[in-house]
Amino acid sequence: MNHKILIHHVKDNVGVAIQDIKMGEKVIGHYLDGKKENIVEIEALTDIPLGHKVALKDISKGEVIIKYGEIIGEATMDIKKGQHVHVHNIKSRRW
């Protein structure tokens, strides 16, 4: 498996694609904060473009999206582990 996801914080439920990821591809993610030794293994359920987020676990509609250890939004629908996470399935909690 290829290392194609970076995870900024141990609390994050999304990681960032550091290369384009194709649907069906099996990839691994590494934590940047050094607090978690384990890697995350994911099979992409959708294409995920470079720089975009990918779900590290199943996220239920209404559940918060966490990146950098901070809440960045809320799921507008159920999101499965390995799916692309972007404006089509999350919204800001500020507006």
Look at residue 35 in the predicted model and tell me its pLDDT.
Answer: 59
Q: Please list, in sequence order, all residues whose beta carbon lies within 8 angstroms of the beta carbon of residue 38, skipping any fewer than 6 positions away.
A: none
State the pLDDT confidence band at 68, using cuts at 50, 70 and 90.
Answer: very high
Q: Please say if the pLDDT value at position 83 is more than 90.
A: yes
**Number of compact structural domains in the chain:** 1
Q: State the average pLDDT over residues 1-5.
A: 80
pLDDT of residue 71: 95
CA proximity to 42, closest of 63, 60, 32, 57: 57
Q: Could you read off the pLDDT of 6-52 as tens digits, one per residue?
A: 999 989 999 999 999 999 999 999 998 765 567 899 999 999 999 99
Q: What is the CATH number of the domain that holds 19?
A: 2.30.130.110
Q: Is the pLDDT of residue 4 over 80?
A: yes
Rounded distance between C-alpha atoms, residue 85 and residue 54, angstroms: 5
Range of the domain at 55: 2-91
What DSSP assignment string belongs to 52-77? Answer: -EEESS-B-TTPEEEETTEEEEEESS
